[in-house]
Amino acid sequence: MTDPDTLGTLATEGSDPRFARNDELPVAELAAMMNEVDHTVPAAVGAALPQIVSAIEATAERMAQGGRLIYIGAGTPGRIGVLDASECPPTFGTPPELVFAIMAGGADALVTPTEGAEDDGPAGADAIDAARIGPLDSVIGIASSGRTPYVVAAIQRARARGALTVGLSCNRDTALSAAAEHAIEVEVGPEFVTGSTRLKAGTAQKLVLNMFSTISMIRLGKTYGSLMVDLKATNHKLRERAIRMVSEIARTDRDGATAALEAADFDVKTASVMVECGVDREAAETRLTAANGRLRVALGRQP
């Protein structure tokens, strides 16, 4: 459990005198103040970019060899991890087991707070064992304080099992940083509501996880330029997006893109190769397999 004598020294637990009269202020002034302090978060993330970049590079390298990306956290950080991981299958066409999150307290804790779960270090280590974490995996522990026992113990166990480990916190010189191979400390300072790290700290964590999942997927060939060419076209909006992408990539009209997509079960990469290269579905799939799924290579447009 975190030492109560030192918890109060954390920047994320501190009080900012600017917010001492929050309960007396009108809504417009409160909203303006929150908006002003939120503007400081991207700068804090920017200051940590060297650490973020090296961790993403190491993660992408392992994922290219077949490794998984796992987030682990408690409370708000755990929920942010679940949110980011859950968006990967529809956005990048990944299997659910490639990027996933482990939440202290289990799935029920997503909607029913189980704050005591964060103090259970052995449970964090057990969760890593249960997930069969191995040397190709990358595990990102997320804790605003950087001292959450569940997360620190999980990262220690993941590192012992040979995984790449990353500690993402919002304080300086944390236990989580010491436990992980890669330490990322995004110092956002005191919160608008003292200790409510779902605010600036949560925003910073979401920004960093956006980078991890998105850049890793780009490095794995899951995009063409800025286009999410591995998306699963499971609704009208996504089917329309798929049509626009094939039209743009293969330089064809809507009818041509739609016909190719229908013949390719709405797989954007396959349809694009079919149109651009004038081949059937089987030949397009063969080209993509040979290119390790990288559309630019399959189209012969690589530098």
Catalytic amino acids? Answer: 87, 118
CB 179, CB 159: distance < 8 Å: yes
- Half-sphere exposure at residue 237, Cβ-oriented, CA atoms within 13 angstroms: 2
| C-alpha span between 260 and 263 (Å, rounded) | 5
Cβ atoms within 10 A of the Cβ of 106, count? 12
| C-alpha span between 283 and 67 (Å, rounded) | 29
How far apart, in Å, do the first and last CA atoms of the chain sit?
53
Please, is 303 exposed, middle or buried when counting C-beta atoms within 10 Å of its C-beta (0-12, 13-18, 19+)? exposed
Alpha helices in the chain (DSSP H): 4-7, 27-38, 40-47, 49-64, 75-86, 88-92, 121-130, 149-160, 175-179, 200-219, 236-250, 254-263, 268-277, 281-290, 295-298
**Angle between the N-to-C axes of helices 268-277 and 254-263, in degrees from 0 to 180, rounded to the nearest 10:** 120
Which residues on adjacent β-strands are paired with residue 167?
141, 183
- Cα dist. 252→1, 244, 276 in Å? 61, 10, 8
E-state strands within 143-250: 164-169, 182-185
Q: What share of the chain is helix, strand, coil (3-state, %, to 5)?
A: 55, 10, 35
